[in-house]
């Protein structure tokens, strides 16, 4: 679990570096240069502008719609990630038995543990790194959306619901933080991660970070976080919960 967390953070950091985060204060337009700007951020910005014009210059509604479209596009990857997490959860009892059987810290025993663990993964068709791939694929898309919102000049001066899209809001950040916490809480429920102190700490650290950032960023970005996390909550309820229920029913039948 710890190795998976480190790999995920490394991939996120790498994608963030390659995405050119130093351009965040530069407006995006047709003249913007660089692969990241030309093929990721600018097309995303144009999609936001297209839907805003479709909704009579309602950029808030456009951000909502584009965020939902992105999340629907990424849904198969998220389902794969959920299934991978569930598969890892299913083999935890056998994995713990192996760890107890080969508890000695000498090199030969640890090598045997690794061999038996890999055999267990192959037996059940589990790839311990499968959950990292969806994260790596999603990050360029999600960061591009973040850049597009921050760098699309046309968003400035527009309002949505009770807030101005180009100015920080004081209610939306709290909703964003709460939605992030709920989404992570549902993901962790009943999984081995709930017993991992590092994952439990992240359960509280991430919502706090999102809330604090949202207080300083334009409300358009907080809106994106809110919509995205509410979608993830619904996804978890409709996909992961039935998976857990089926597993529980199967266990009872046995």
Q: Does residue 252 surpass a pLDDT of 50?
A: no
- The average confidence (pLDDT) of the chain is 76
Residue 253 binned pLDDT confidence (cut-offs 50, 70, 90): very low
The predicted pLDDT at position 130 comes to 59
The predicted pLDDT at position 127 comes to 67
- What is the token pair recorded at 48? 């936001």
- φ and ψ of 74, to 5 deg: -85, -5
Region 165-189: what's the mean pLDDT?
Answer: 83
CA 46, distance to chain mean position in Å, is 23
For residue 57, CA distances in Å to 51, 160, 209 come to: 8, 11, 31
The answer to whether 210 touches 232, Cβ cutoff 8 Å, is no
The answer to whether 81 touches 184, Cβ cutoff 8 Å, is no
The predicted pLDDT at position 54 comes to 92
The predicted pLDDT at position 47 comes to 92
Q: What angle do CA 55, 153, 180 make, to 5 degrees?
A: 75
- Which of 51-60, 131-140, 162-171 is the least confident region? 131-140
Residue 2 binned pLDDT confidence (cut-offs 50, 70, 90): very low
Residue 196 binned pLDDT confidence (cut-offs 50, 70, 90): low
Q: Does residue 62 surpass a pLDDT of 90?
A: yes
More confident site: 139 or 19? 139
The predicted pLDDT at position 61 comes to 93
Q: Which of 70, 63, 66 is nearest to 232 (CA)?
A: 70
The predicted pLDDT at position 189 comes to 65
More confident site: 219 or 110? 219
Question: pLDDT digits over 99-127, tens only?
Answer: 777 777 777 777 777 888 888 777 776 76
Region 45-64: what's the mean pLDDT?
Answer: 91
Residue 135 binned pLDDT confidence (cut-offs 50, 70, 90): low
The predicted pLDDT at position 181 comes to 86
- φ and ψ of 163, to 5 deg: -125, 155
The predicted pLDDT at position 64 comes to 93
The predicted pLDDT at position 190 comes to 58
The predicted pLDDT at position 50 comes to 93
More confident site: 182 or 20? 182
SS percent in the chain: helix, strand, coil, step 5: 80, 0, 20
More confident site: 6 or 94? 94
Q: What angle do CA 210, 211, 213 make, to 5 degrees?
A: 65
Crossing angle of helices 59-90 and 241-253, in 10° steps, is 20
- Which of 23-37, 44-58, 208-222 is the least confident region? 23-37
């Amino acid at each position: 679990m710890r190795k998976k967390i480190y790999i995920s953070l490394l991939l996120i950091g790498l994608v963030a570096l390659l995405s050119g985060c130093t351009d965040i204060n530069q407006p995006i337009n047709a003249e913007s240069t660089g692969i990241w700007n030309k093929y990721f951020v600018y097309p995303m910005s144009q999609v936001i502008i297209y839907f805003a014009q479709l909704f009579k210059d309602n950029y808030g509604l456009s951000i909502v719609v584009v965020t939902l479209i992105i999340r629907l596009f990424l849904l198969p990857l998220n389902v794969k990630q959920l299934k991978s997490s569930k598969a890892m959860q299913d083999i935890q009892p056998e994995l713990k038995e192996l760890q107890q059987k080969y508890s000695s810290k000498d090199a030969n025993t640890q090598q045997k543990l690794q061999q038996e663990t890999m055999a267990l993964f192959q037996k059940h068709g589990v790839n311990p790194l499968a959950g990292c791939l969806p994260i790596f694929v999603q990050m360029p898309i999600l960061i591009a959306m973040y850049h597009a919102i921050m760098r699309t000049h046309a968003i400035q001066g527009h309002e949505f619901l009770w807030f101005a899209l180009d100015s920080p809001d004081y209610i939306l950040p709290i909703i964003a933080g709460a939605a992030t916490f709920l989404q992570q809480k549902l993901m962790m429920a009943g999984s081995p991660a709930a017993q991992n102190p590092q994952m439990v700490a992240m359960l509280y650290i991430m919502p706090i970070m999102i809330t604090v950032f949202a207080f300083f960023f334009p409300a358009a970005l907080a809106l994106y976080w809110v919509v995205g996390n509410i979608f993830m909550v619904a996804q978890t309820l409709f996909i992961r919960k039935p998976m857990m229920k089926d597993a529980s029913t199967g266990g009872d039948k046995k």
